[in-house]
Each structure stands twice: as C-alpha cells, then as structure tokens.
Amino acid sequence: MRNIITILKFSKRSSTSLLFWLSLVSLVSGVRPVFYVIMPKFILDELLGLQRPQYLFGYVAFLCLGALFTALLGNLAEGRFTLLAEELNQSLRILLANKTLNIEYHLSESKSVLDMKERAKNSLDFLYQLSPSLVSTGGAIVTITSTAILMISWRWWLVILVLGISLLTIPLLKRLQVLELDNSARSASENRAFRYFLELAVDYRYAKDLRLFVGVDLLMSRAKKNMDSILRINHDYFTRSGTLNGLIRVLVEIQTGLVFIILGINLLFRQLSVGNFTMLYGASRQLGSAVSVLFDQIRVITTINLELAFFVDFLRLPDRDGMEETPVVNQQNVEVEKVLSEINEGKLSVQVQDVSFRYPTSDELVLEHLTFAIQPGETVALVGRNGAGKSTLVKLLCRLYKPKSGRILINGTDIWDFPLEQFYAILSVIFQDFQLLPLLLSENLGCKKSDQISDDELARIEEALGKSDMLNWAQALPYGIHTPMTRLLSEEGAVPSGGQEQKLAIARAVYHDGRLIIMDEPTSALDPRKEEQVFSQMLNISQNHTAIFISHRLSSTRHADRIFVLDGGKLLAEGSHEALMEHEGLYRSMYLAQADQYASEQ
C-alpha cells in the first residue's frame, strides 16, 4: 500500500475527504446485504408462525424504509467519493505532465524512460479500478464481520466451512496477480508504439507527406503490426485469466451448494425454522461472497500498488538541474551575482574549455577536447559538415546536456553554477526544430496567459514583431496579436508559412532579450535572399549582445566577426571570412562549393 499512500499525499485535500466518504460508502454497502438477510427471517416467521399483522406490516415497512435510506445514503456517499477520486486522478495526470516537462533533457530521449512514462501513465488508469476496489474492500470487511457474528450465534461451524473453502482460492488469486503484472509489462512498449502511430495519423502536420509519398499504407501497416502484437498478448492474458476466474467461481458455487445441503437437512429434520434457514443460508452466501470479494480486491489493490510504483519512480527521476533548490556556499552566490550584474551591463563572454561529449546511448565522441573563447559583443558563426557537432554544442551551451569532461564558462563562471531560471534569462535561443504552440500569438511570444501580459509587455511584443518584419502580418490577423496560432484548437487560428514561423521564432527570441543570442539554423525555411535579409536584421538586433550563429549557407555566416570551423567534433580553424578564404581548407572548399548559389550577392 506504500505507493497508494504516496500518491494520496499529493492531494491532501482529496485524501482527507476521500477517507471520510470511503468509510461511509463502505459502511452502507457492507450493512445493506446483512439487512436484507436478517429482515426476511422476521417476515417469514410472522407469515408461517406467529402471524401478527401489526408486526408483519412493521417489518415490511422497516425493510422498505431501510432499503430506501441505505440506497439514498449509499448513492450520495459513492457519488462524492467518485468525484473526489476523479479529482485526484486528474491532479496526478497534471503532475505527470509537469514531471515529463521537467525531467533532465537527455532522459526524455531514452527509450527506457519513455517506456517508464508509458507505464506511469497506464498506472493512473488503474486508479479508476482503485476507487471501486476500495469501496468493495471496505464493504466486504463490514459484511464479513456482520455475517460472521450472526452465524456464530447460530451455527459457528458454518463460518469455518465457508472460510475454509474460500482459502482455497488464494493461490488462484496470486496467479491472477502475476498474470496481470506480466501482461502490463509485456504490452507497455507495444501500446506506446501503437498510440504513437494513431496520434501521427491524426496530426495534420504529417498529412502532406503521408499522402504524397503513399505513406498511409505504410503507417497503417506498422500500426496493425503493433495492434496484432497487442492482441496476441491480450489473447494469452484473457485466456489464462478466464480459466483462473472460472475455477474461483466453481469453488464459490461448491461452497454454496454444501451450505445449502447441510442447512436443508437441518430444515427437513425440523432442527431449523424456515426463517432461520433463509437467514443462515443468506448469511453464508453473503459471507462466502464477501470473503471472495475481499481476497479478489486485495489482489487488485496489491496489483494497483505495484503498478503505481512506475508512477512514483517516474516522479523520482532527476529534474532539470536547479529546479530543486540546493544550498551553495555564500562565496559562490556572490560570484554568480557579480557575473549577472556584468551580463546586465552587456558584458558577456563565453569560454569553452577542453569540452568532450558523447550521447548517453553512444560510445562515439561527438565533441573532443573542444576549446575556444568568444569575447563580449562578438558575433561568431559555427560552420562545418553535417555531424560536426555544431547543434550538440548548442545543446551543451543551453545546459540540455552536461559535458563528459571540460567546462563551459560565462564570464569565467561555470554555466552549471547559475540558478537555472536565471541562466535561462541570459539566453535567447532559436533552434532549427523550434515549435510554435497552438495558443495565441501573444502567448507564444510572451510565454504568459494573455490576461497576464501587461501593456508594457504587449508593447515589447509588438516591437519584437517589428524587428523580425512580422508586425504588419500580425496586425492584419482577425484578432491582431491575440489571434490563435494554427487551427489545431481554433477554427479561427492563423496558419503561418514556414518562413513566417521562423520569423515568429526570431521575434520570440528578440522579446526574451537574452544577452547571449544563439541561432541554430534559424533560417533553413527561407530562400537565400530572405535569409540574407533576416541575418542582416539579426546582426542589427544582436548589437551589444554576444551572438552565436549556425548556418549551412556560408553566404550569411561570412558577416560574423569570427567563424569557427568544426569537423569531427574538433575546432579545425577560426578567423574572419576573409582570413579563412586566404588559405586552403574546409571552409574555403565549402564556400566555393556554394559559390554558384550566391555569386550574385557578392
């Protein structure tokens, strides 16, 4: 129960109220069967024996009113309990989503972690079983206690008979638990893959490629392959679980038959009245059923508890560095504050010192003993062949990964010594695979809900749009800068072109106003003329900022103060465009290979 208790602690308000309503609904559901067992005895005794009309009517009235009262109270308690359970479930799903966004970046690319997240998400589906299981368990305990007391006062050995046969179901229930856990483990990866293909099929961003390259059949065949695998796993599970459940039901019916025979013999020899026969037989059936339910629900709750371990373990994955505040020595705080003050004044330098890096799932070094320095206010371009390590270096600069060795410094301070949120405030980054969210344009740029954006911030958003040559476009939208982006969530959403999306991404970076501007292939969707225009804009925007640009089109990077040429994760050469063109080397050969493309621009 440790994992169940752990998740209940995530919502103290819900857990306190849940306990009260669980106790009430369990009491009502447990007492109701016993009530129906006892009252018919008194009614039958009056009909077949004493025949007192006033008592008979009283018992019938009491039975009807009791049934009505317990039904109303039970429905009220169950409704409240179900509502609070759903509230807890949704709050846990939000917690899971928040954790997914905050785990260390490299973990989000790991298949094992993705499978763990899938099982964590699936474990929350088990919570829908937990609520009725807890109710059934509580009700079964109340019923067992009540019927056992009743039967002991009349025929104590019946209790031993019923419990003895019920104990025979325990090994079968344990087999069911093992079977369910095995099924969950085997189907997690297949379920994640199948869900991915389904989501891919309805994502409009892939619609053109899937249609034009006849990818629909390929996609559906892959989905069908995963579905067939899921069906095989489930067929095996349901076949075996059906057999085990059938055996459990056979034992329960054997138990009921034996009790009926024994009590029937007592009735024939007039050792029991009809009323007592009805009460004891009904009580034994309720006891046997309640014990069976209790064992089964304990199995279910134990299974849920084991499944929730994946949710709890996922929540324990390390967050992005700095999300959990850790105490640091005062001297370090002073140094960081000093550096932040220098950065605010426009003085930001970058030092990469002997940095080597390999991805967690690879043995091959992507960067190897890389060393260089960028001066305050300098604009630097990173160029090189595909796979040279340029984008990887950007990820390291953004603290998405940590170097295997070496350090990256800003103004002499290791970037990992900065509090994370303060470090992010230093950066204005545009990735090659940037994403615009299906929210309002103002929310995309301001990263706040529209009703929380101040007038000053709105003015800054419009200024950023102006600097990226997108203000006129934005103002012409149906709701101006408050128009939704894409039509994923709104029919009135704007659908910018690829080039416009990139300019909006630039506007977001401009609005953020970080002192270190990093652009990783930000103009890949633009034609050379538009790219030249955007780079000219960015050079103006990055004045008094330290800037790092990556682009495969050397017609733009030649405007940088210095160019770093990377190859095989190492710094091959550095210098201005003119200096690098004076010597034979990778930069000169790459530039000349592209010469036909931009010769007219020189």
- 408: β partners: 352
Where is mean pLDDT largest: 209-223, 365-379, 553-567? 365-379
Give bridge partners of residue 147 from the DSSP assignment.
none
pLDDT of residue 563: 93
Lowest average pLDDT, out of 186-200, 248-262, 552-566, goes to: 186-200
- Average pLDDT on 228-238 reads 85
Residue 326 has pLDDT above 50, yes or no: no
Poorest-pLDDT segment among 31-45, 108-122, 328-342: 328-342
Question: What is the rounded average pLDDT of the residues 260-286?
Answer: 80
The confidence band for 11, taking pLDDT boundaries of 50, 70 and 90, is: low
Contacting residues for 548 by C-beta, under 8 A, at least 6 apart: 350, 374, 380, 381, 382, 394, 397, 516, 517, 518, 519
Q: For residue 318, give the DSSP letter.
A: P
H/E segment holding residue 134 = helix 127-167
Domains of the chain as residue ranges with CATH: 10-179+240-315 (1.20.1560.10), 348-434+515-601 (3.40.50.300), 437-495 (no CATH)
Q: Return the percentage of the chain with pLDDT > 70, whole number.
A: 90
Evaluate whether 293 touches 140 at the Cβ level (below 8 Å): yes
33-53 pLDDT per residue, tens: 878 878 887 788 778 776 777
- Distance in Å from the first CA to the final CA of the chain: 73
Q: Is the model's pLDDT at 329 over the cut of 50?
A: no
Res 325: pLDDT: 42
At 214, is the pLDDT very low, low, confident or very high (cuts 50, 70, 90)? low
pLDDT for res 349: 93
As a whole number, mean pLDDT of residues 139-166 equals 80
For the ranges 6-10, 171-175, 314-318, 423-427, the lowest mean pLDDT is seen at 6-10
Which stretch, 56-70, 249-263, 272-286, has highest mean pLDDT?
Answer: 56-70
Residues 185 and 197: their CA atoms lie apart, in Å, by 20
Helices (H), 168-214: 170-201, 207-212
User: Which stretches within 476-541 are classed as H helix?
Assistant: 498-512, 528-541
- Which has the minimum average pLDDT: 302-316, 378-392, 586-600? 586-600
pLDDT higher than 60, residue 323: no
From CA 14, how far away is CA 572, in angstroms rounded?
61
Q: Give the chain's mean pLDDT.
A: 81
Averaged over 83-112, what is the pLDDT? 82
pLDDT in tens, 376-412: 989 999 998 888 888 899 989 989 888 999 999 999 9
Q: Which of 311-325, 477-491, 538-552 has the lowest mean pLDDT?
A: 311-325
Q: What is the pLDDT of residues 458-468, one digit of tens each?
A: 999 999 999 88
Q: What is the mean pLDDT of residues 132-159?
A: 81
